[in-house]
Chain A
């Protein structure tokens, strides 16, 4: 589904990603953990071309997104992304936030787009908020709308960039619940998070990133209980 080969990323002279390779299989949930500044968000943003890699190749569903001739818009509509700060369109209602992609990008009719949006809102438990505006919603509600907005494009893979880091603690659970449902339904997911409980429960594989490298990877049980690397052990001891 996603194949990453030897990518590197520089910001000026600073190298944030160092020769990373990774395969993500269909229906797999990969959780990426690591200290801040380790490059995990940058890595995730490379997967839909929001950041351009300096070297290496990324192939998603057979399309090489790192090729200069690739139309990134075509790839991005199949790759959903959820941001740390939600990034809902402030001037649009919840309904419009969810339908604008299907209507403008997929050229779906208004009626059909709104029916699907209703179904998605039900799925994330916000049926009654369809005509609210983002600034009238709590953080947790906004993030669930953002998930619905991404799902409305019918993506084949979902990227989550620290989806619960900007939330008040009591709202983390509602967002994680939606993500767990998605994982159970078989969505392919790459999740950058500090929620170790989530990683343990739904992650098929956990990657530990540090200083721009994937230092260690493994099944959650193995990586959390029995890390091979000293730095992984140190990181886990600080946050668990």
Chain B
């Protein structure tokens, strides 16, 4: 419990800054919606003419609706959220070694399994807090700018994919950080990985039920599908669960056997 609380305290500032910046992006983009509704056709044409944007909205039929527009905005929120989650996952264990505080923590009467569990739980809570805060901000903004009523369940389902995608990147960060003997800097690794997956996702079409979609977590939850079916595609939920379980289990094993070297 003490490690868990220590991690929450140590990471509250960073998480606060992330919540602030994601909220700012939500507010900024969503406040553009009233202008879009005046001439949705031109806006859609503009987006479709840009291949990068087109990939985000390919499966969305009505960009002029609040859910359609939110889906578009949400691609950028996902990108930010993925960076946050991977930073957190990659640093939560490695920072003890990098800052040389591992000698302090790992000579206390606790097992490495318990240390890791506490840290993973703390990460989970920090990500949950981010999601709750961002959901609240997004919902308030949606109500403030809406021109028609919208399905709140779908709105929730779309927003909840932030958490689901963050879990994948957090697990990816954790496994990378335990494999690398001494991770000197987290940001290049997390930015690099997240942007790599993001760019890959731009070239993957969600129209087809293609195997290639499994490559990028950004394509696991297609907003077009969510709007039409009001649910997620089960095979991607399973893929996510399998990846997270494998990554976390491997991390436990590697971390427990790792040599913690002196400075």
A and B associate in one complex:
no
A→B interface (CB under 8 Å): none
